[in-house]
Amino acid sequence: MPAGSATIPSPTAGFSGFRVSPFWGLVTVAALLALGIWAPSGLWLLAFLAVIIVVHEGGHWYFARRAGMRPTEFYWGFGPEIIGVDYGGCRYGLKTVFLGGYVKLWGMTPTSDLPEGLTEDDLYRSASHGGRLATILAGPFTNIATAIIAFTVANYMESGSLVWTSGVADTWSVIVGTSEALWTWVTSIGTYIGAVFDTSGETQVPVRFLSPVAQAELSGWAVSQGAVTILRWFAILSTAVGVVNLMPLPPLDGSHAAVTIAEKIRQVLQRNTTVTVNVARLEPLAYITLAGLTVLTIGALVLDLRLGV
């Protein structure tokens, strides 16, 4: 969730600071055209992810505002800005690398500097523990709620009966399956890595994950099958994103939630409301997590290319 720059839009009413970068816009359009020519199904995956990311970050943004925090950036994408506008003290826009998105919140650590243009009351660390927890969990839980809606609508289109419990049951199945797969991968990572490097294919893969290439192929296939399959595939992707972000490992949302809960427990036990837990100390673990996710992605790609989707 946290990312961004030190430029703080002024909290004025109305729109201001509108900018468009023709160069980066053309670069992005060229990249999308190339993707459309060489791997058109990749465009469908980007479309699915665009909705999932905006919904996820929108959950963070909404509950941050409700908790009294002041988000200063809300972007889809990373890297150079293509288009952006300031509104109400926050900058909204699109960046060139469509591999994620973020809402910028300041004061994620107890000792971080206060940027010019913000007051202490605007910061994450000044919100109540309940407000912080709601803000952090809003992203993944919004993804899961969206998946429930998508599954429910898909089931209604098939059966003609609108039963919300069916959407809940389908989403829960994906949550359980994703959680079990992640646990299996963690507890048998050595075997998984061995399977990746075993070109003979004799090593049994303990669990298979879909690489972005396979996800793109399935996205294209889902679109060719019609609305019901599109909704189901979208719901699976949305649920998976929510589950992964709930893992209590930095820099994922689950780790920030765990820190918030741990801090509140320490304050209650020590009867001292000034006790804090500095999430910055978990930075080495964040690199380990990112390395693990990178290994998982590369391994999935190798296995998909070798064994097929």
Averages of pLDDT over runs of 10 residues in the chain (309 residues) are 62 84 96 94 95 97 97 95 94 93 92 87 95 97 98 95 93 96 88 83 81 94 97 98 94 94 95 88 89 86 81
Q: Would residue 117 count as lying in a domain?
A: yes
What pLDDT, on the 0 to 100 scale, is given for residue 1? 59
Q: Please, are residues 108 and 124 in contact by the beta-carbon 8 Å criterion?
A: yes
Q: Would residue 10 count as lying in a domain?
A: no
Q: Would residue 175 count as lying in a domain?
A: yes
End-to-end CA distance of the chain: 31
Q: Would residue 235 count as lying in a domain?
A: yes
Q: Would residue 268 count as lying in a domain?
A: yes
pLDDT (tens digit per residue) in 4-59: 445 788 887 678 889 999 999 999 999 999 999 999 999 999 999 999 999 999 99
Burial profile 55-93: b = 16 or more Cβ within 10 angstroms, e = fewer? bbbbbbbbbbeebebbbbbbbbbeeebbebebbbbbbbb
What pLDDT, on the 0 to 100 scale, is given for residue 112? 84
What pLDDT, on the 0 to 100 scale, is given for residue 15? 85
What pLDDT, on the 0 to 100 scale, is given for residue 224? 96
Q: Would residue 90 count as lying in a domain?
A: yes
Could you give the count of Cα atoms lying within 13 Å of 1 in the half-sphere of its Cβ?
34
Q: Would residue 264 count as lying in a domain?
A: yes
User: What gap in Å lies between CA 229 and CA 94, rounded to an integer?
Assistant: 28
Could you give the count of Cα atoms lying within 13 Å of 135 in the half-sphere of its Cβ?
28
Q: Would residue 86 count as lying in a domain?
A: yes
- Give 3-state DSSP helix, strand, coil % of the chain, rounded to 5: 65, 10, 25
User: What gap in Å lies between CA 61 and CA 87, rounded to an integer?
Assistant: 13
Q: How many residues does the chain have?
A: 309
What pLDDT, on the 0 to 100 scale, is given for residue 221? 96
Containing structural domain, residue 246: 15-307
What pLDDT, on the 0 to 100 scale, is given for residue 201? 72
What pLDDT, on the 0 to 100 scale, is given for residue 6? 55
The total number of structural domains that make up the chain? 1
pTM of the model: 0.92
